[in-house]
Structure 1
Amino acid sequence: MATLQTIRSKGPLVVIVIGLALFAFIAGDAWKVLQPHQGKQDVGEVNGEKLSTLDYQKMVDELSEVIKLTNGLNSLSEEQLNNVKDQVWQNYVNNQLIAEQAEKLGLTVTDAEIQAIIDQGTHPLLMQTPFRNPQTGMFDKDMLQKFLVDYANLGTSQMPAQYTEYYQKMGAFWMFIEKTLRQSTLAEKYQNLITKSLISNPVAAEDAFKARTEQSDLLLAGIPYSSINDSTVEVSDDEIKKLYNEKKEQFKQLAETRDIHYIDVKVVPSDADRAAVKQEVTEYSNQLDKTNSDYATFIRSTGSSVAYSDVPVNKSVLPSDIAARLDSTGLNEVYGPYYYQSDDSYNAFKVLAKVSAPDSIQFRQIQVYADTEDKTKTLADSIYNALKGGADFEKVAKIYGQTGEATWVNARSWEGAEMDADNTKFINTLINQPKNELANLTVGQTHLILQVMDKKSMQTKYKVAVIKCPVEFSKETYNSAYNKFSQFVAQNTTLEDLQKNAEENGYTLLPRKDLSSAEHYVGGVKSTGDVMRWIFSAKPNEVSPLYECGENDHMMVVALDKVHKTGYRDINSVAATLKNEIIRDKKAEKILANMQGVNSLDKVKAMEGAVSDSVKHVTFSASAYISVAHASEPVIGAAASKTEVGKVSTPIKGNAGVYMIQVYAKDKGTEKFDAKQEESSLASMLSRPVANQIFGDLYQKANVTDQRYLFF
């Protein structure tokens, strides 16, 4: 619909709108604070710098407008909204971290540098703006400069209100691009400073080359740890504590998380609900057979999930079950009612037209608007008559501040979209207007002088009135489920109660560990913001009230089990993991002891629980996958590189067992060693983990606090 509005009201700028396609790394849309908050509230903090809800909202709104403008959308899904919130927060944190380090190092980005990037025109960010040459597809700084000049003179121009609004949106869009360009350039400078400090040397480069190119083919025999029952291995608390202290740094967490148990009740339709929907659609299909006009009103009255469009469309934009039945249905014939299992709906439809229509249309237009409706009509008639008399279209358009240039539009812009009467009139005129003929079209309070220049890709298209009614639960069904669940929640007020009584009452108590406040949903259910706020304010063993959530089709109760504070995880929360590691090590010790004096693969194969395999193309730099052990074993590649052909290795302790290998072939490959290229690749390979480590350290020192969940 946003595209249609552009076609209708933006005139000479329509080519820009249709061509827009912005950043792959951004997705999202606008959002609003869920409820008003009095006083100054902060959503988070980085390096002591607090971010208020107001400033956060401004940043999200800014990015949202960019997304809507560049994708021709009015709104996006809840998931996309959440993506925007997360993108804005992550960008804010990263920019704050970089800005502090850049200030210490004296790193800046000057206006001259930004202008040089614009003049060069190859930055990926510029390539994703609408300021691109239509012929080459490359960024065109002259197009940008012309826009900026027009934008600067916006206050003194006589442009129609619709043009002014669009120029303002495009101006805000460019300011966002310029700001993002400045931030990304500063980040690149800082990252380059880090990566340039990473150097290699010929010795390391040669080792890396050999590790990557020298391959070994080998035979293998081993004893998997799974061959020994865990119950036969004893692990003491002191052993767990010792290993915990050795690995304590691995158990450090930067944000608080919580373990919960929850019951999610999804309300589903009853048999009576299904019968009622079927009966309704049967009645609607009979009425549809007798309806001959105003299909939009009738289809709207049925509550169909597919709105009626008085514009012929490709069958691909219709629901798949409708599309599959079109060609077997005659004109003005009603098909149905029938049930479609995939979307759990009852359906009926009537084919009103089957026509050949273009998929691409080239047109040009002049928008006419004056002080009053009569003046607008008089002026439009005058322009129309002048053009009919042979006046030059583009020259006339320029008199009224428009280009009059022709542009192509594709049927994808409107097919499948809900359209009002004006949009329907406009699109049908484009489809039906003969080439090169003029039309004087009244659209709202304006007039359009329209000329279709060309049409391409004629396709069979359909005008269909569709009744698609999903099977939904009734109010009575919901109330029954609510009353039952409400009574259960009232009678079970502790986690122990829920664990004891959930199953016998027909409910499933689900565990969820390490829930973070940065997450948007509990159990993947939408609209659980209130549940999240309860979870992060509750105390262990508390049970929440009953929450209604989802799309008015879910009910939920939550019990808080444990709280994992920022810092080191307590030993109890990781004891099971540590115990498994100790058990594995003790099994390895036992197997290694049994392998003492074993010097052949055949002797290993003769041992209880043994497995054997052959593995080819093993390198030092890549983990070898041992299929019989269902595990990747990096140590096998290391051992193979040091084992001579025909020799048997000593026992090797791996992730899933203890092995012995016999290398029977080695291949150095045909690739030639290039010291400089290998050094460069090695430094580049190291740059990403080093950069991640540095940013991780900066993040820890910045005392980042994220409490957006309190407000959004």
Structure 2
Amino acid sequence: MAALQKIRSKGVLLLIIIGLGLFAFIAEEFVRSIQTTTNESRQVAGEICGKKITSMEFQKMVEEYRDALKFMRGNTTPTEQENAQTEDFVWQSYVNYQLIAKECEKLGIRVTDKELQETLAKGSHPLLAQTPFVNQETRRFDVKALKNFLTEYQKMQNNTSEVPEQYAEQYATVYKYWKFIESTLRKNILEQKYQALLANTILTNPVETKRVFDENNTTSDLIAVSFNYNDVPQDKVKVTESELKNKYNESKERFRQYIESRDIRFVAYTVEASEKDKKDLDEEMAKFAEKMATSDDLTGVVRMSNSQIPYTGLWVSKNAFPNDIQAKLDSVKGGITGPYYEIADNSENIIKLMGSIQAPDSIQCKMIQVGGQDIEAVRKSADSIYTALKNGAVFDTIAHKYNQQAQEQWIVSNQYETAANMDENNIKLLNTLNTTATNELKNVEFETGNLIVLVTDRKAITTKYNVAIIKRPVTFSKETYSKAYNDFSRFLANSKTMDELEKNAVKEGYQYQMNNEVYANTHFINNITNTKEALRWLFNDDTKVGDISPLYECGDNNTLLVVALNKIHEKGYQPLEDVKSTIEKEIQKDKKAEYILKDPKVSQLKSLAEARANGYKIDTLKNVAYNGITFVPSTGSMETKINSSSAGKKVNDFVGPIKGENGVYFYQVIAINKNSEAKYDEKEMTSNVRTQLLRNIQTFGSDLYLKGNVKDKRYLFF
């Protein structure tokens, strides 16, 4: 009780202490939650319809698509431009699907498993033709082949220890690709459903289709009377601020900007080889030319030279080489050509041609692989098989005896000609195939075994070459780059403001450039590669107008770049100030038309004869189509309104006034030309008209984009 009384006596103090402790706890949790939220927001690469996608999620989608491309095209290394195109495609596909999926959810549209299975059973969807499950005879998707594969894959998953690692990897790769196709197919079906719903809102009728057919197959010959806007004095068409504001408000939707952009000023300097660098390369190439002339190991010499074109000793067609080498091959007579300079790719080159042959571009063949306990047994078995086949034995029968299918396969030059590396066995086999006649049999010996090869067909005979090439770019040395880097750094250190940047650039001999409206989804600055860091700086929230970036090393490690932020264009409507010149020109054009038509002789012009009597400018315009565009010599302008107004007019009709792009026009129809060869097909024309009308509602996609409040922040990560 005494203890309890003591606690009560300190009640107020305890409450304060407990309160402070509780506040500290809550504050700590609050700060932690803010940090967590902030960190999460920093990882957001984009947002569509309130749904956020993190950089890791987007990267995963990109990698899945890249893996699919590798599966379809082979393991090629993409360029930076190709990577950028892939990222854009994946992003745009994701955005389009999310926007449509949102609408479909409200409409109750979905794709059921049954619908997916029906699509697979039909096998006609274009995506399915991109799978390995295509029947080679019918060239159509075979759902049975897919089901067999999935069954086999499931068995392998249940018995992983009994499956060779190589087979398991191959099956896993195909399965992963199929799951990508399946997911894409489901999304595509949903998008097609939504598009079909929109398409069914478009109707046409026989009267409209016949009218469109007639207009498409009719042109007019006109004699036009022109009044050029340039003849109106500028002081007669002054534009007030209120007129600018009114015109801006009338046409505001034209100036909606969907993506944030920024105006920049920048200096980019590309480092080039010095005279000393060029001289050093010349001396080095001369030494390699001597080695190529005397060495028996051309592969080693070419490898040692760091040539951009490897030498394998294969017989290859011109297509294996760059265009400049292709153009040179026919003029090379043998021996050594070069070193010589090639201006097209700024390179030094040496060519050694060993010979040329006439060989097929495509070779069809069968093979039997021969193995054994030791190399002696292999050779003996191979000789036995070869002798039997030469004496009339059936190739497939012998192959089956050795548990091999020996299926015919086509080998095409472009499958191997550009390979950077190739082992000696493959080189020996391919050179054998290139020099073997149709129905000829060969016993090809390798270190560890033999191949019995039968060539069954040869197609597209072409010239193939055995040629070794050393191609070296004329590039700068480390010393040259270091000097350029130090000079550029010194220039940047002395340029604290945009004015100083411009002034010092001119002084130091650098080019001061501008690029207005660099968009947030841009991948390169001024088409310079490897500028991602510069773009991240440019669109960072901390970067302010007038700021100057650090020095960036870009391009192929050969470009020095500095960027200055000149102006920010936020997402939304462009302000009047940014579009003032465009609106002012439009108002001036309208006022010039009004000024011209104030003259009653012009506004009340009724005939061509009257125009000639008044000495007005006249042009003859031939074959004017209503949906085309016409050049008017008197005004030097391309005009569409003359064309659109010509529909349905008759010979001798006098039309005008028409307010065009660069003048006011009147015209008289002097001939109607009909395409007598065109035959009206109502069904075909109805389809064409519907297609055209569907194009006109594509702006609905822009409405969905705005409604979805799409935010693209990929530039922060990619």
> What TM-score, normalized to structure 1?
0.85
Equivalent residue letter for 1:261: R
Residue 635 of structure 1 corresponds to 641
3-state DSSP of counterpart to 2:598: helix
Equivalent pair of 1:258/1:513 in contact (CA under 8 Å) = yes
Equivalent pair of 2:370/2:452 in contact (CA under 8 Å) = no
Q: What's the CA shift for 1:498? A: 2.8
Q: What's the CA shift for 1:217? A: 1.4
Q: What's the CA shift for 1:482? A: 2.0
Q: 1:452-601 to 2 correspondence within 5 Å?
A: 452-457=454-459, 458-537=461-540, 538-594=543-599, 595-601=602-608
Equivalent residue letter for 1:539: K
Q: What's the CA shift for 1:554? A: 0.7
Equivalent residue letter for 2:248: Y
Aligned pair in 2 of structure 1 residues 641, 410: CA closer, same or farther (>3 Å)? closer
3-state DSSP of counterpart to 2:669: strand
Larger Rg, first or second structure (1 or 2): 2
Aligned pair in 2 of structure 1 residues 406, 214: CA closer, same or farther (>3 Å)? closer
**Which of 169, 172, 175 is 2:179 aligned to?**
175
Q: 1:211-610 to 2 correspondence within 5 Å?
A: 211-228=215-232, 230=234, 233-293=237-297, 295-331=298-334, 333-365=335-367, 387=385, 403-422=405-424, 423-431=426-434, 435-439=440-444, 441=446, 449-457=451-459, 458-537=461-540, 538-594=543-599, 595-601=602-608, 604=611
**Which of 615, 619, 624 is 1:618 aligned to?**
624
1:279-330 deviation line (CA, Å, top 9, x unaligned): 221122122212122x222112112221112212123423444444445545
Aligned pair in 2 of structure 1 residues 484, 367: CA closer, same or farther (>3 Å)? same
Equivalent residue letter for 2:361: D
State the alpha-carbon separation in 2 of the partners of residues 484 and 603 from structure 1.
72
Aligned pair in 2 of structure 1 residues 160, 405: CA closer, same or farther (>3 Å)? farther
Q: Is residue 683 from structure 1 mapped to residue 690 from structure 2 by the alignment? A: yes
Residue 107 of structure 2 corresponds to 105
Residue 34 of structure 2 corresponds to none
Residue 57 of structure 1 corresponds to 59
1:29-63 deviation line (CA, Å, top 9, x unaligned): xxxxxxxx987822111111111222212211111
Report how many aligned residue pairs link the two structures.
Answer: 665
3-state DSSP of counterpart to 2:350: strand
3-state DSSP of counterpart to 1:641: coil
Aligned pair in 2 of structure 1 residues 656, 291: CA closer, same or farther (>3 Å)? same
State the alpha-carbon separation in 2 of the partners of residues 648 and 376 from structure 1.
98
Equivalent residue letter for 2:176: A
3-state DSSP of counterpart to 1:646: coil
Equivalent residue letter for 1:529: K
Q: Is residue 703 from structure 1 mapped to residue 706 from structure 2 by the alignment? A: no
3-state DSSP of counterpart to 1:502: helix
Residue 195 of structure 1 corresponds to 199
Equivalent pair of 2:299/2:312 in contact (CA under 8 Å) = yes
1:656-701 deviation line (CA, Å, top 9, x unaligned): 21111011122455456666655543333211221x2222111111
Aligned pair in 2 of structure 1 residues 466, 663: CA closer, same or farther (>3 Å)? same
Aligned pair in 2 of structure 1 residues 592, 356: CA closer, same or farther (>3 Å)? same
Q: What's the CA shift for 1:416? A: 2.6
Residue 28 of structure 1 corresponds to none
Quote the RMSD (CA, aligned, Å): 3.2
State the alpha-carbon separation in 2 of the partners of residues 640 and 362 from structure 1.
62
State the alpha-carbon separation in 1 of the partners of residues 535 and 354 from structure 2.
50
Q: 1:12-91 to 2 correspondence within 5 Å?
A: 41-91=43-93
Q: What's the CA shift for 1:654? A: 0.8
State the alpha-carbon separation in 1 of the partners of residues 212 and 223 from structure 2.
25
Q: For structure 1, which segment, 501-510 or 143-152, has the greater mean C-alpha deviation from structure 2 after superposition?
A: 143-152
State the alpha-carbon separation in 2 of the partners of residues 400 and 118 from structure 1.
38
Residue 25 of structure 1 corresponds to none
Identical aligned pairs, as a percentage? Answer: 35
Q: What's the CA shift for 1:611? A: 4.4
1:482-512 deviation line (CA, Å, top 9, x unaligned): 2222222222222232344433432222221
Aligned pair in 2 of structure 1 residues 38, 599: CA closer, same or farther (>3 Å)? closer
Equivalent residue letter for 2:80: E
State the alpha-carbon separation in 2 of the partners of residues 700 and 556 from structure 1.
35
3-state DSSP of counterpart to 1:514: strand
Aligned pair in 2 of structure 1 residues 191, 398: CA closer, same or farther (>3 Å)? farther
Residue 8 of structure 1 corresponds to none
Equivalent pair of 2:44/2:53 in contact (CA under 8 Å) = yes
Equivalent pair of 1:338/1:347 in contact (CA under 8 Å) = yes
Aligned pair in 2 of structure 1 residues 139, 287: CA closer, same or farther (>3 Å)? same
Equivalent residue letter for 2:490: Q
State the alpha-carbon separation in 1 of the partners of residues 248 and 138 from structure 2.
61
Q: Is residue 131 from structure 1 mapped to residue 133 from structure 2 by the alignment? A: yes
Aligned pair in 2 of structure 1 residues 384, 286: CA closer, same or farther (>3 Å)? closer
Aligned pair in 2 of structure 1 residues 693, 596: CA closer, same or farther (>3 Å)? closer
Equivalent residue letter for 2:580: A
3-state DSSP of counterpart to 1:218: strand
Q: What's the CA shift for 1:364? A: 3.7
State the alpha-carbon separation in 2 of the partners of residues 219 and 55 from structure 1.
63
